[in-house]
Amino acid sequence: MKFFVDTADVAAIAELNDLGMVDGVTTNPSLILKSGRDILEVTKEICSIVSGPVSAEVVALKADEMIAEGRKLASIAPNIAVKVPLTWDGLKTCKVLSGEGFMVNVTLCFSANQALLAAKAGATFISPFVGRLDDINLDGLDLIADIRTIYDNYDFKTQILAASVRTVNHAKECALIGADVMTAPPAVIKSMANHILTDKGLEQFMADWAKTGQKIL
């Protein structure tokens, strides 16, 4: 499973990228706001750090304007994936931009039917939101599984990009189900390294090492 990092924080992206933990980046208007930077400027910098897809989201609501914004965003760098919402106008935009050879990430997916439409429209990625479904007492992981089954049934090439991943359990289950990509905040990716038994084991090793009175350097 590929790891995308869900942030516009350049320092956090660079740190994870140096460790080989970044296969791409996803951004959205909320993350751009949090960064406090110009969308074109920060997106260009992110594209210079990572070689994989960098999702940059349109903000228009009508297809013609979405298409124009998408072309503008795609001109930033070759690894831009234009992010569009899963609305009818978003699907129209996906069809046009994917037909022009651009990567398209269709976001805010909450049903298998929506994912099926996105694949038919030529989406490079579909972004089902796991955590937000959990918020309304639905199992977001069930949606990932449903989409995986449908896409495999018909050999769709659209990649399942599990989004709104909030916990290490989400990450593990998405990998078990077979999501192509997971996008998560830097803190979630880092917390995947944590385990209480690792901490306890290291504590014991350090205590025993101190008793030897030895040094390596």
Residue 23: count of CB within 10 angstroms of its CB: 18
pTM of the model: 0.96
Alpha helices in 75-195 (DSSP H): 88-99, 112-120, 130-135, 140-154, 168-177, 186-191
pLDDT of residue 176: 98
Give me the pLDDT at residue 152, please. Answer: 98
pLDDT at res. 101? 98
- Of residues 34, 44, 62, 83, which has the active-site annotation? 83
Distance CA 136, CA 171 (A): 19
pLDDT for 137 equals 98
Angle at alpha carbon of residue 28, lines to 26 and 34, rounded to 5° = 105
Fold of 2-212: TIM Barrel (3.20.20)
Which whole number is the average pLDDT over 151-166? 98
Categorize the per-residue pLDDT at 189 as very low, low, confident or very high, splitting at 50, 70 and 90.
Answer: very high
Domain range summary for the chain, segments of one domain joined by +? 2-212
With cut-offs at 50, 70 and 90, classify the pLDDT of residue 175: very high
Reduced to 3 states (helix: H, G, I; strand: E, B; else coil), residue 105 is strand
Confirm whether 72 is a catalytic residue. Answer: no
Quick: pLDDT tens for 118-155: 999 999 999 999 999 999 999 999 999 999 999 999 99
